[in-house]
Structure 1
């Protein structure tokens, strides 16, 4: 890892094809800055992405990268981290990719507590497929396929993470550049699975959950007396349906990541034919 790495080192020469004003620009910039601030560089970083607008991020970040299939980014990230414990693994997704088809993988990635970072760009809509309601859309959010709204409560990803045994849960806003970077940086530095849901507004298909809405609504937990290490306090904040919060909602300072619990600290990216029995035992235990 380089001590003088800059976030611009993570930029590629490819021009993003996101809509002008998309929240994903700010989300990605914060991720790159957080990686640089934690001493990581493109040569020791692996970015895994799923499907959706967020899935393009690996194309625009200079690092090792894999653009996977819908909802399956987390198991790929898990495999990368277990095979190469020495590199920084960051998984990127969207609310549809992560909390719909990928919800099962999300729950198990959380409970395994593999030492990687999961950044979800939550715009509360399916943007790439032109504006359908997503798992986090409001129950009355009108779209072409739900003209009267989904008529069901949105998924609360923070509650799902807490119930699954998460050791780090945070919420950021892509437009609040400095705070977003700080929060992602905390997730990277956390020993275990660092989960950050990012409010990343869709300017094309969502005229409800806008930049102005979040600027007017967000309560920054850093400006309150919230103790993120208090699980009961975290639960109260997470289940508060009257407010939108920004900051670290919950953090377990006693977290022991999966690799440390099971002694996974060697490079297993090149397992020869006739893999040793202890490696196969690990595979059987994991699955």
Structure 2
């Protein structure tokens, strides 16, 4: 059991291929059908280009999606795929991942699919730490159903379903995931391919549930939602890039930094005005989720300061490991199971 609990990485049981792969190997013959200019195209290309690096057999990779624009993803991946039920992709992927440790299982979902009808499934997948990777495309709108506000739409958002402005306070997906004790929680942006792929590499190797929130532009119903993070004139001054083991400094001239505030959170300071020791060094491996949660609270709808990168990356036995260890122990103690004997067993009763 101890060997199982120590683990050898998320991909240790997934068969490798001897054939050199390219992005073309992961493209299907299906016409990619999203609106022209949609951020989903960039994410799809990034995933197809990154997967060959893993060297896994395509037959041992599976993409599971729910319902929404992002959930067309499995059609365009030359792997196994499952276009499942609205909000239930994490539940279906959990069954797949726990029963087939030889698979690399990925969930593709959107902010509406994952955080509205699927919120409960998402939380419990994170809590259990099932060995699967969740890509949460966040465009802050319902795109497939034509522009209603979503669980991540900002307060006061004018949409077809909220003509006078949304009254709902939005979810912060990163805060939610950290609050659920997610062991790998990260954020990236559809248009920053280098950063996106670096986060995907780390997520793929993580042993347990990895949640990657991807800011994704819906150019039809919420165009420009993340423009400040992409505008060369301001992006460096508002984007806080998190690197494990590095001081958290940012700005075009790296003149800004984070230090602990009196309230226990973080505050932005001018690096030149404080002692270097006051600048916080990012520790994604800290078992205490409080600092990562505090970092997630820096974000705001107005993008004053938006952290991207890996907020939390800690080691905890995955649900799959614990389940296999428990089954191994049961067989060792009780012997192999007998389904027929179980069905004909004495733990029954008759109602006259």
For the criterion TM > 0.5, the same-fold answer is: yes
1:246 matches 2:267: no
Q: How many positions carry a matched residue from both structures? A: 270
Matches within 5 A, 1:115-264: 115-210=131-226, 212-215=227-230, 216=235, 217-222=238-243, 224=248, 225-230=281-286, 231-241=289-299, 242-252=304-314, 254-263=315-324
Cα separation, partners in 2 of 1:53 and 1:265, compared to 1, 3 Å:
farther
Is the contact made by 2:63 and 2:105 (CA closer than 8 Å) also made in structure 1?
yes
Report if aligned partners of 1:125, 1:205 keep a CA contact under 8 Å in 2. yes
TM-score by length of 1: 0.88
Q: Go from structure 1 to structure 2 and tell me whether the alpha carbon gap of 1:218 and 1:13 turns closer, same or farther (over 3 Å shift).
A: farther
Unaligned runs of 5+ in 1: 267-271, 278-287
Q: CA RMSD in A?
A: 2.1
CA distance in 1, matches of 2:107, 2:341: 29
Counterparts in 2 of 1:92 and 1:143: CA distance versus 1, 3 Å: same
Does the aligned pair in 1 maintain the 2:131–2:209 contact within 8 Å? Answer: yes
- Go from structure 1 to structure 2 and tell me whether the alpha carbon gap of 1:16 and 1:40 turns closer, same or farther (over 3 Å shift): same
Match for residue 52 of structure 2? 36
Shift of 1:40: 2.2
Name the residue aligned to 2:71: 55
Relative to structure 1, the CA distance from residue 115 to residue 276 in structure 2 (aligned partners, 3 Å threshold; closer, same or farther) is farther
Aligned to 1:103: 119
Q: Is the CA contact 1:126–1:134 (under 8 Å) kept in the aligned structure 2?
A: yes
- Cα deviation for residue 21 of structure 1 reads 1.2
- Structure 1 position 164, deviation (Å): 1.1
- 1:238, 1:106 → 2: CA distance? 18
Specify whether residues 263 and 131 from structure 1 end up closer, same or farther in structure 2 by C-alpha distance, changes over 3 A only: same
Q: Is the 8 A contact 1:259 1:265 kept in 2?
A: no
CA contact (8 A) 1:46 1:88 kept: yes
Q: 1:213 Cα deviation (Å)?
A: 2.4
In structure 1, the partner of 2:104 is 88
1:275 is displaced (CA, Å) by 7.5
Moved more, 27-36 or 137-146: 27-36
| Cα distance per residue 1:115-171 (max 9 Å; x no partner) | 110001111100011111000011121111112221221101111111111100000
1:2 to 17, 24, 27: 17
Bigger mean CA deviation after superposition, 178-187 or 237-246: 237-246
Conservation of the 8 A alpha-carbon contact between 1:138 and 1:149: no
Counterpart residue number, 2:42: 26
- Residue number in structure 1 paired with 2:339: 274
SS state of the match for residue 339, structure 2? coil
Q: Matches of 1:22 and 1:206 in 2, distance apart?
A: 11
Q: Cα distance, 1:219 vs. partner?
A: 2.4
Structure 2 unmatched runs, 5+: 1-15, 249-280, 328-336, 343-352
Does structure 2 retain, via aligned residues, the 8 Å contact 1:48–1:90? yes
Larger Rg: 2
- Give the Cα separation in 1 of the matches to 2:326 and 2:51: 21
TM-score (norm 2): 0.72
